Amino acid sequence: MWYVYVLQSLKNQNWFYKGSTPDLKRRFIQHSSGEVQSTKAYLPVRLVYYESYLTEKSARLRESNIKKSGSVWKPLMDRIKNSLLT
Q: Which domains does the chain have, with CATH numbers?
A: 2-85 (3.40.1440)
Residues in the chain: 86
**Predicted confidence (pLDDT) per residue in 43-65, tens digit:** 999 999 999 999 999 999 999 99
Contact (Cβ atoms closer than 8 angstroms) between residue 4 and residue 18: yes
Cα gap 86→80, rounded to integer Å: 10
Q: What is the pLDDT of residue 54?
A: 99
> CB 73: neighbour CB atoms within 10 A?
16
> CB 76: neighbour CB atoms within 10 A?
16
**Predicted confidence (pLDDT) per residue in 9-41, tens digit:** 999 999 999 999 999 999 999 999 999 999 999
Cα gap 33→51, rounded to integer Å: 23
DSSP code, position 20: E
**Predicted confidence (pLDDT) per residue in 70-83, tens digit:** 999 999 999 998 98
Q: What is the pLDDT of residue 84?
A: 85
Q: What is the pLDDT of residue 86?
A: 60
